[in-house]
Amino acid sequence: MPAERLSMRKIREVLRLSWCARLSSSVVAQSCGMGRTTVREYLQRAERAGLCWSQAEEMTDEALEERLFPCVNLPEGQQRPLPDWAEVHKQYRRKGVTLLLLWEEYKARFPEGYEYSRFCDFYRAWAEKQPVWMRQDHKAGERVYVDYAGMTVPVQDRATGEVREAQVFVAALGASSYTFVEATFTQTLRDWLNSHCRAFTFFGDVPELIVPDNLRSAINRSCRYDPESNPAYAELARHYNTAVFPARVRKPRDKAKVESAVQGVERRILAKLRNRTFFTLAELNEALGLLLEEYNGRPFQKRPESRRALFEQVDKPALKPLPAKHYEYAWYHKAKVSLDYHIQADDHYYSVPYRLCRQEVLVRQTDTMVEIYYKGQRIASHFRSHKKYQHTTKTEHMPKGHREHAQWKPERIIDWLGKAGPSVAEVARQIIASRAHPELGYRACMGIKRLGDAYGAQRLEAACRRALELQSPSYRSVEALLKKGTNIQESSEHAATPIEHHNLRGPGYYQTNPIQGETSEC
The DSSP string of 138-161 is --TTTEEEEEE-S--EEEE-TTT-
Helix residue ranges, H only, 244-337: 256-265, 281-297, 307-310, 316-318
pLDDT in tens, the chain (522 residues): 333 334 677 788 888 888 887 888 888 888 877 888 888 888 888 888 888 888 888 888 778 877 887 754 544 445 678 888 888 887 887 766 788 888 888 888 888 888 888 888 888 888 777 654 444 456 777 888 898 998 899 999 988 889 999 999 999 988 888 999 999 999 888 899 999 999 999 999 898 888 887 665 555 554 443 445 677 888 888 899 888 887 765 555 556 666 788 888 888 899 888 889 999 999 999 999 999 999 998 887 767 788 888 888 888 888 889 998 888 888 888 999 987 789 999 889 999 998 998 899 999 998 889 999 998 899 999 999 988 888 888 888 888 766 666 666 778 788 888 888 999 999 988 988 887 666 667 778 888 888 888 888 888 899 999 889 888 888 888 888 888 765 555 444 444 455 565 666 666 665 555 444 444 443
**Cβ count within 10 A of residue 472:** 15
Task: Please state, in angstroms and rounded to a whole number, the distance separating the CA atoms of residues 513 and 250.
Answer: 105
- Contact present, 510 and 521 (Cβ < 8 Å): yes
pLDDT at 203: 92
Q: Among 191, 254, 247, 259, which Cα is nearest to 219's?
A: 247
Stated pTM of the model:
0.51
Domain ranges of the chain: 3-68, 85-130, 143-321, 331-398, 408-496
Task: Please state, in angstroms and rounded to a whole number, the distance separating the CA atoms of residues 64 and 51.
Answer: 9
pLDDT at 495: 46
Measured CA distances, 437 to 4, 409, 426, 442 (Å)? 91, 12, 18, 10
pLDDT at 168: 94
Q: Residues 130, 131, 135, CA angle at the centre, nearest 5°?
A: 70
> What is the C-alpha radius of gyration for the chain, rounded to an integer number of angstroms?
44
Q: Most distant CA pair in the chain: distance in Å?
A: 157
Handedness of CA 393, 397, 398, 400 (dihedral sign): positive
- Contact present, 323 and 241 (Cβ < 8 Å): yes
Q: 181 phi and psi, to 5 degrees? A: -135, 140
SS3 category, 361? strand
pLDDT at 494: 45
SS3 category, 165? strand
**Cβ count within 10 A of residue 98:** 9
pLDDT at 78: 52
Q: Residues 263-302: pLDDT tens digits?
A: 888 888 998 888 899 999 999 999 999 999 999 988 877 6
Q: Looking at domain 143-321, which CATH architecture does it have? A: 2-Layer Sandwich (3.30)
Task: Please state, in angstroms and rounded to a whole number, the distance separating the CA atoms of residues 264 and 151.
Answer: 12
Helix (H) / strand (E) containing 233: helix 231-239
